[in-house]
């Protein structure tokens, strides 16, 4: 395999600007994350997954939404089984309205399309910022000699001070510094803890950046879509009757809105917010499954000694993990970070995370700027 620097580390700007083909761009981002992940092992070692390793699989999973691979049946079921939907259909039928069932059952497709757009833009935003940073680290830190303070200063000089909410990159700087410490660490446990701390800092920066996209993705356009249904019903009436019928129709459809908005967050988190990694599909609102040996963490990370890492895990209430713990609200940054930190800690030493995200033939097609045939996510 050619060194990653000769593959998709040098092409980051071109990938980001590939607006004309978002599906191909997502595939290239996924492959590029893998190449960056492998490139980081030259200075960090290959035992511990770095942030790009996890990003590879998150981007690959996101590609399913970009390609609109499926519209979950669960979301259609929420519409069909809504008591408000059933009552509105019957009541409107008695009044002589042909209830636009098919229009309403298009709601899941509309929602998934909106989510696809939000996920695509979020994935691109993060890659455009973090891809170049990891590429710079790979090029800067000497693969054949210990990392130096001058090299660290060179990387940090490219970052902007300030919080992520205001465009700052102080968290990223702290993450780079933690990776630098791991590069110079010979003790396997201390190295693993430093890498986990670095992964967590970069992950926190990423999640703060993504917060608007995630909130928008989970904010289904239920009311707007149902109001469109109401407008279509009213347009079928003679103009002289529309004004008097409008409050009746909206009153009958209001329970449908209430039912769907109540069920949407749970259904979206359970059915849409997943992460496919080698050997398993993680449902991000559900408890994190144990490792194959039934432990929650690899041996090196069973206990945490690094004070910075302990403070971070305590801040997000995940220094210890309860087997039944779940994320109630994926749009809540603190709850989401608790899950992500547990995920990083639990899977950081899983070697199959470094697997190629695509088959050999798919990879060849992607590098040839072609969308491959067959399943991709």
Ranges 30-34, 115-119, 236-240: which has the least confidence: 115-119
Burial 28-56 (b: 16+ CB within 10 A, else e): bbbbbbbbbbbbbbbbbbeebbbbbbbbb
Structure tokens at 149: 């303070």
Separation between Cα atoms, residue 301 and residue 260, nearest integer Å: 42
| pLDDT tens-place string over residues 79-124 | 667 777 777 777 777 777 665 556 666 666 666 666 667 777 888 8
Burial 137-176 (b: 16+ CB within 10 A, else e): bbebbeeeeebeeebbeebbeebeeeebeeeebebbbbbb
| pLDDT tens-place string over residues 287-343 | 889 998 999 899 999 999 999 999 999 999 998 866 556 666 777 899 899 999 999
For residue 8, pLDDT over 60 is answered with no
Higher model confidence: residue 348 or residue 12?
Answer: 348
Higher model confidence: residue 89 or residue 367?
Answer: 367
Compute the mean pLDDT over every residue in the chain, rounded to the nearest whole number.
Answer: 83
List, as one string, the DSSP characters of 9-47: STTHHHHHT-TT-HHHHHHHHHHHHHHHHHHHHHHH-SS
50 backbone dihedrals φ, ψ, rounded to 5°: -100, 180
For residue 6, pLDDT over 60 is answered with no
| pLDDT tens-place string over residues 132-182 | 999 999 999 977 788 999 999 999 999 999 999 999 999 999 999 999 999
| pLDDT tens-place string over residues 50-90 | 999 999 999 988 776 656 545 455 666 766 677 777 777 77
For the whole model, what pTM was predicted?
0.81
Residue 130's pLDDT is 95
| pLDDT tens-place string over residues 254-283 | 777 777 777 766 666 565 678 889 999 898
How sure is the predictor about 3, in pLDDT bands with cuts at 50, 70 and 90?
very low
């Amino acid at each position: 395999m050619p060194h990653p620097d000769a593959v998709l580390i040098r092409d980051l700007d071109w990938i980001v600007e590939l607006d004309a083909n978002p599906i191909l761009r997502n595939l290239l981002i996924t492959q590029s994350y893998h190449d960056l992940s492998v490139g980081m092992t030259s200075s960090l070692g290959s035992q511990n997954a770095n942030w790009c390793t996890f990003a590879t699989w998150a981007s690959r999973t996101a590609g399913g939404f970009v390609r609109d691979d499926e519209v979950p049946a669960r979301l259609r079921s929420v519409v069909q089984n809504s008591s408000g939907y059933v009552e509105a259909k019957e009541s409107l039928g008695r009044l002589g309205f042909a209830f636009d069932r098919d229009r309403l059952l298009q709601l899941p497709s509309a929602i998934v399309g909106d989510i696809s757009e939000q996920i695509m833009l979020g994935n691109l935003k993060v890659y455009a910022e973090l891809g170049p940073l990891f590429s710079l680290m790979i090029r800067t830190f000497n693969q054949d000699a210990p990392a130096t303070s001058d090299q660290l200063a060179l990387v940090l000089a490219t970052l902007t001070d300030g919080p992520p909410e205001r465009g700052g990159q102080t968290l990223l700087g702290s993450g780079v510094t933690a990776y630098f410490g791991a590069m110079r660490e010979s003790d396997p446990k201390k190295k693993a803890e430093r890498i986990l701390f670095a992964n967590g800092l970069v992950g926190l920066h990423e999640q703060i950046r993504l917060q608007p996209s995630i909130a928008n993705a989970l904010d289904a356009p239920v009311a707007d879509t149902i109001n469109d249904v109401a407008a279509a019903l009213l347009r079928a009436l003679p103009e002289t009757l529309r004004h008097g019928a409008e409050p009746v129709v909206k009153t009958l459809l209001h329970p449908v809105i209430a039912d769907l908005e109540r069920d949407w967050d749970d259904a979206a988190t359970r059915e849409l917010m997943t992460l496919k990694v080698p050997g398993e599909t993680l449902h991000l609102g559900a408890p994190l499954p144990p490792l194959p040996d039934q432990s929650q963490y690899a041996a090196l990370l069973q206990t945490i000694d690094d004070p910075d890492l302990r403070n971070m895990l305590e801040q997000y209430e995940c220094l210890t993990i309860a087997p039944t713990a779940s994320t109630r609200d994926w749009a809540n940054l603190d709850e989401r970070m608790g899950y992500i930190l547990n995920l990083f800690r639990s899977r950081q030493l899983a070697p199959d995370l470094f697997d190629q995200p695509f088959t050999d033939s798919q990879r060849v097609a992607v590098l040839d700027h072609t969308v491959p045939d067959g399943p991709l996510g």
